[in-house]
Every structure is written in C-alpha cells, then in structure tokens.
Amino acid sequence: MKSSFLFFSLVLTAISQLAFAAPAPADNGQGPQDNSNGASPTDHAWVDEGAFESGILGVTNQYRAQHGARALQWNNSLAWWAYGYLDRNKCAWKHSQGPWGENIACGYVTPAHSVQVWGDERRVYDYRHPGFSHETGHFTQLVWKGTTDVGCAREWCGRYMRWFVACEYWPPGNVQGQYAQNVSPQRR
C-alpha cells in the first residue's frame, strides 16, 4: 500500500509540472454558505465513511451519466490527500492549489447536496462557447470526461457550524482548449 501511494504521488507530482491546466475555480466570492440547514457534527451522511462515499459517488455519477461521461471510481489516495488538506486548511475558504482538479463546498445538509450544487452550475454553462468560467468551474470538473477518479474528505467547521467538503479529481479537468470534447450537454 505504501509503495502504491508513493508511486501515485510521484506520478501526480510529475504531471503537475505541466502548465496547461486551468487554475482551480474561484470561490465566486461567496465564502462558506450561510445555510441554516440543520446539519450537525453527528449526522450519519457525514460521519459514516460508507454513507459519505456513496453520497458523493451516487450524485457525481448521476450527473456524469447525464452528460455522457463514465462513472468515476473512488480513489483512497485522493481522499487521503484531501483529508490532509482540510487538516492544514483549518476551515479557510480557499482551494488547495494541489496538482489535480478540486471542488470545495461548505454548509450543505448532506455530501450529496454539495455535489448537486456543483452539478447545478450546468444551468449557466455556455455549450456554444465552451471554456472555463468561475461560475461553472465546479460543474465542468464534475462531468469532465477525461477524469476517472475522485476522492473526497470532510471536516466539521465549528466556527461556522458547517461541514466543509473537498473533492480531488484525477486526471484534472478544466484544461484549456479541451472543454468541447470533455463537457457535453445534458442528455434528455
């Protein structure tokens, strides 16, 4: 396991040196959402590892199927990295600037709802002029056809009384010049 993680880390580090990927989506200036959602630090959907993973993957893969992308596989190495980021981050509302794609959210009642909010950015994505936008960067990463793996982590942020979630994607999406072939319109 240790050698697999080391190999994976080395590959990711090498690939991260390529400068063709677009920057991670900005937070749109919204910061952590101020939703009075009733989520607590003991909610099953957040604290149970299986429920957390299936909540993330279930909604993620629904959106991906609706946009002609294959289902993502859960990647424990990415999840482990996300946990480390959240531990270092201390609930600050910012992207990690890591070498892979990333979506972050804070303040939603379930992990699945966090993913739904990212996916619902599709309402404002311009398929006629594909490309990066701060308003749709979470959505485009979510359904990016070239992405195969996801790993996510969460942390209870007591000062906000909210859950903070970070999902890491490999290979990263939002690569400039590759939107048309990686982000398809929703199938009816």
The pLDDT, as a whole number, for residue 38 is 60
Q: Whole-prediction pTM value?
A: 0.79
Domain ranges of the chain: 32-182
Cα-Cα-Cα-Cα torsion 39, 170, 88, 58, nearest 10 degrees, comes to 10
- CATH class of segment(s) 32-182: alpha beta
Map residue 100 onto helix, strand or coil: coil
The token duo for 146 is 């070239």
pLDDT tens digit string along 159-177? 889 999 999 999 999 999 9
Residue 156 has pLDDT above 50, yes or no: yes
For residues 4-23, b (16+ Cβ closer than 10 Å) or e, as one string? eeeebeeebeeeeeeeebbe
Q: Which residue is listed with tokens 């994607």?
A: 169
Residue 28 has pLDDT above 80, yes or no: no
Mean pLDDT of the chain: 83
CB atoms within 10 A of CB 141: 26
The pLDDT, as a whole number, for residue 45 is 84
CB atoms within 10 A of CB 162: 23
pLDDT tens digit string along 93-143? 889 989 999 999 999 989 999 999 999 999 999 999 999 999 999 999 999
Q: Which of 59, 54, 45 is closest to 115 using CA atoms?
A: 59
Q: Are 152 and 169 in contact (CB under 8 A)?
A: no
